[in-house]
Chains A and B, each alone.
Chain A
Amino acid sequence: MSTFIKTNFDLCTGCGICQLACSMAIVDADAWDVEHENKSKVPDSDFCTTCFTHGYNPRLARLKIINKRENLYHKPVVCNHCENAYCMNVCPAKAYERDKNGYVLINAKKCVRCGICVEYCPENLIYIDPITKKAVKCDMCNGDPTCVKACPTGAIELAVRVNKNKDDDSGEHV
């Protein structure tokens, strides 16, 4: 069984709570190490001391909300963990892996910071970590996405991919 995040523009209010929660939930141990070693200082600047994450800023989240027509429409955009993932296809370092749940993940150890994957995601959902300069993306929070839990309206929800091979990804709700 493979799950994915289904978005419902009609329920999205553009509040960005999903992004705030995501930005705070990203535990970037790799970046933490880099900063800690390089700066040899306590984590005052770019990390929260108590949770080892960056802190709140929707721009650091790994999902987007597109606002249109003076906020008449809000459209959440999330990583699709594509079956034919262009990000994975273009990676020259084979840093991309698909895990047993079908999620498209980046192995930070293999990433060579070339940024090519960023260039080829049609939704611009691959980011460069500001500290390590490596590619980062949505990792589905091990199948229990923080954004979905935080959304107050059900505009993003966890759905099961059924009949994946028959191009039917409308899914059913978990």
Chain B
Amino acid sequence: MSNLSTNMTTTDVGTTTTDVGMTTTDVGTTTTDVGTTTTDVSITTTDVGMTTTDVSMTTIDANIINPAKESAKSKKSRIEPMANLTSSYMKQFLFIDLSNGQIERVPVPELLYDDYIGGKGFGARILYDRLAPGIDALGSDNLLMFMTGPLTGTIAPAMRGCVVTKSPLTGIFLDSYFGGSFSPEIKYAGYDGIIITGRAEKPSWIWIDNEIVEIRSATGLWGMDSLKTNHAIKEELGDDTVKIATIGQAGENGVLFSLICCEYNRQAGRGGAGAVMGSKNLKAVAVRGTRSVKISDYQAFEKAHQKALVELEKSAEVEALRIAGTASAVEYANETGLLPNRNYKNGTFAKASDLADTGQRKHLWLGASACMGCPIRCSKMGAVRLGKYKGIVTDIVEYESAALMGSNLDISDVRAVAHLVKLCDLFGMDSMSTGGVIGFAMEACENGLLKNYSIPESVDLSFGSVKGAEYIIRSIANQDNKLGKLLAKGVKKAAQALGGNAEDFAMHTKGLETPGWGPRGASGMGLAYMTTDRGGCHQRGFPISYEVAGVPWKGKILDPLSPCDKADMVASLQNYSAGTDTLVKCDFGSFGISAATYAEMVSAATGRKISPEIITETGERIWNLVRLFNLREGIDSSKDTLPPRFVREALPDGPASGHSITEKDMLYMKQEYYRVRGWSKDGIPLHDTLKRLRIRHEQNNENESGAA
């Protein structure tokens, strides 16, 4: 608390106006200048003549920013602010280079706010500008960014944070979202985001206490699971209110789908952000912030906030999540034939209800838990009280975990699934990808492809074996046997290494394991998987809510099995998703809160006029920019595809029985999608599209300039 007075002085720094011609607002002034030609960020500031921090604010001590010294220096040039600058933005990034211990506070350029709003937008722009093409995602050059949005840390319901980096699993763009209380704390410490680069010489963790930033030794923490690490850091700091993001053993050991655990039971789960963190020798980031997030127009904000609450109350989907979280989706997926079973061979599971809310309520749940500031409370906390797994505290087994670690593996004992998911959480690996990998391994075992992997005779790797699943999880996390080393690379690379027909049943898109919604009964979902920016993902557009649920799209009821009319829906949903991921919203909140209300809340909080149209347009801008990034990393049209099983094998059960998404369907949907997007037939954004969206990009690379 006492730190707030020092904050005052640092805010002074933040409002100092600097002369024109300062180029140093370029994010990451410390690193070698990459792609100077197109750095959005550096062009920005001179344009708008924004207020920025004194440039000379380089670190005084290698490891600690000393605010007192800085402000003394900058006060000389201080001018009174011209207008009311109160906003929910914190106006600076914290930039940390672990290679040389350099720590800097970098002002956020106005244009980044104008064109990218926050969260995913910030991350996408900075990644595109700062990352040299083709760098090793696990090398020291990769950026690991924790980003917040303009509403993060306010009372606006259901806001989160995101990690943006280049994925070691897919080799392309990765944005991974987390709830809980870590992202608000970043704002309270005074930052819109944390940008980490380099690689520490020894295991380290970062302690951010408002403007005091230290890099501490994590030698004693290395090898600990995520929960123990969390507790050990709180003990070391003597404060159990600090908020911590940490990796487990999987991230240390370079498991390509390891995640970052964020305070508690919330994870930046998909795509291997944990491995990036581990590759930087970074075990944890702990934050304590005592600054507050301010509001530009409080009365307008409160009005919009109340509107959002009413919209949430009116939503039947939100009500369902409040009662049973995502667990209730298990039965829905089963009824619609979209629930994966036996590595997606089937679309139904006879014992689905055991894994659904019915089973979970009986065996696990005790009460509800919520992320910071969220009235939905979708999380159901509980414990296994009896039996083999007695004593474990567990969060709700989310739909995706129930599907991929349960039905997909033919496991119906929800307590066993809770145990397996908890193991993943502790080791710090994505339970979705892990479930996909185990399903792949079990099928590979069935096909006799794992004979050379010296699996102990006592271990049964056939479908339904909880012991087999646990063996695989431990092998992957600990990297202590050949099978673990193979599977830690994800199904795509494991299938390539195994050979034979393994690639036929490797369930992934662009290397990201397929989510728990088999798309053969929902062509639009298939198109979403094909085209999602981070690979096989269900969260950047969920057409099932329209095509399978029978909800009309633009006044028309869509046939779930037809490839027609899906492109516009998918592209629109993706744009809206990317647009609202700048806020950074939780998907569940967006089931109730309308675009108009989001826009009202952001406008009132930031003092910038944002409309629903701007949100969607920003989303489209980001989607195209990320496409350019992914193309630069070597993605081409042939990668916009589905796992062979969904194409060649007809679904054997459920309402869509007998259906698959054929090559012809894929081609049709893809071309329609490219057309809707304003991309060439090879999936490259056309010049006019980029111009319309005001996207600055590398002109000289014809691969990206829309030459087609």
Contact = CB atoms under 8 A, between A and B. Distances in A.
Which of A39, A58, A150 has the most chain B CB atoms closer than 10 A to its own CB? A58
A112 interface: no
B42 to A, nearest CB: 26
A20 interface: yes
B241 A59 contact: yes
A57 B291 contact: yes
B370 A56 contact: no
B564 interface: no
Contacts of B317: none
Contacts of B8: 35, 39, 45-46, 131
Contact of B3 (A21, A23, A58, A130): A130
A3 interface: no
A59 B299 contact: no
B81 A55 contact: no
Given A41-B80, A70-B393, A20 B296 contact: no
Interface string B106-141: 000000000000000000000000000000000000
Nearest to A20: B155
Interface stretch (B372-380, B492-500, B571-579, B592-600): B372-380
Contacts of B379: 13, 71
Contacts of B290: 57, 59-60, 130
Contacts of B587: none
Contacts of B241: 59
A57 B153 contact: yes
Interface residues of A, number: 44
Interface string A1-16: 0000000001001111
B656 to A, nearest CB: 38
Which of A10, A43, A44 has the most chain B CB atoms closer than 10 A to its own CB? A44
A145 to B, nearest CB: 16
Which of B15, B188, B294, B371 has the most chain A CB atoms closer than 10 A to its own CB? B294
A134 interface: no
Nearest to B155: A20
Given A14-B370, A16-B373, A131 B295 contact: no
Contacts of A67: 264
Interface in A32-64: 35, 39, 41-51, 54-60
A153 interface: yes
Given A15-B375, A72-B366, A72-B383, A55 B4 contact: no
Contacts of B74: none
Contacts of A74: 369
A59 B369 contact: no
B614 to A, nearest CB: 23
A45 B12 contact: yes
Nearest to B85: A44
A48 B300 CA distance: 13
Interface SS majority for chain A: loop
Contacts of A58: 372
Nearest to A130: B4
A56 B86 contact: no
B188 A59 contact: yes
B466 to A, nearest CB: 22
Contact of B289 (A49, A57, A130): A57
Interface residues of B, number: 52
Which of B81, B85, B298 has the most chain A CB atoms closer than 10 A to its own CB? B298
B7 A45 contact: yes
Interface string B305-325: 000000000000000000000
A56 B159 CA distance: 14
B298 A50 contact: yes
Nearest to B83: A42
A55 B393 contact: no
A59 B86 contact: no
Contact of B2 (A43, A56, A73, A130): A130
Given A60-B292, A131-B4, A50 B297 contact: yes
A24 B296 CA distance: 13
B55 interface: no
A69 interface: yes
B475 interface: no
Interface string B1-40: 1111101100110010000000000000000000000000
A69 B7 CA distance: 33
A44 B296 contact: no
A141 to B, nearest CB: 16
Given A44-B85, A56-B154, A15 B371 contact: yes
Nearest to A16: B372
B381 interface: yes
Nearest to B9: A45
Given A13-B370, A57-B293, A128-B1, A71 B381 contact: yes
B294 A42 contact: no
A30 B386 CA distance: 56
A55 B299 CA distance: 13
A51 B381 CA distance: 37
B86 A43 contact: yes
B367 interface: yes
Interface string B217-230: 00000000001000
Given A50-B296, A55-B292, A57-B293, A72 B155 contact: no
B5 A130 contact: yes
Contacts of B155: 17, 20-21, 24, 56, 150
Nearest to B188: A57
Contact of A49 (B86, B370, B373, B383): B86
Contacts of B299: 50-51
Contacts of A102: none
Contact of B265 (A20, A21, A51, A70): A70
Contacts of B292: 23, 46, 54-57, 60
Contacts of A35: 8
A124 to B, nearest CB: 11
A128 B188 CA distance: 18
Contacts of A70: 227, 264-265, 381, 393, 395
A39 to B, nearest CB: 7
B295 A50 contact: yes
Contacts of B374: 15, 17
B84 interface: yes
A119 to B, nearest CB: 14
Contacts of A41: 80-81
A14 B241 CA distance: 13
A152 interface: yes
A10 B15 CA distance: 45
A15 B2 contact: no
B423 interface: no
Nearest to B81: A44
Contact of A48 (B5, B86, B153, B291): B86
16 contacts: A10-B367, A13-B368, A13-B379, A14-B369, A15-B377, A17-B373, A46-B7, A46-B292, A49-B84, A55-B295, A56-B153, A57-B292, A57-B293, A72-B366, A72-B393, A130-B3
Interface of A: 10, 13-17, 20-21, 23-24, 35, 39, 41-51, 54-60, 67, 69-74, 127-128, 130-131, 150, 152-153
7 tightest A-B contacts by CB? A130-B4, A55-B292, A15-B370, A13-B370, A45-B11, A55-B294, A152-B375
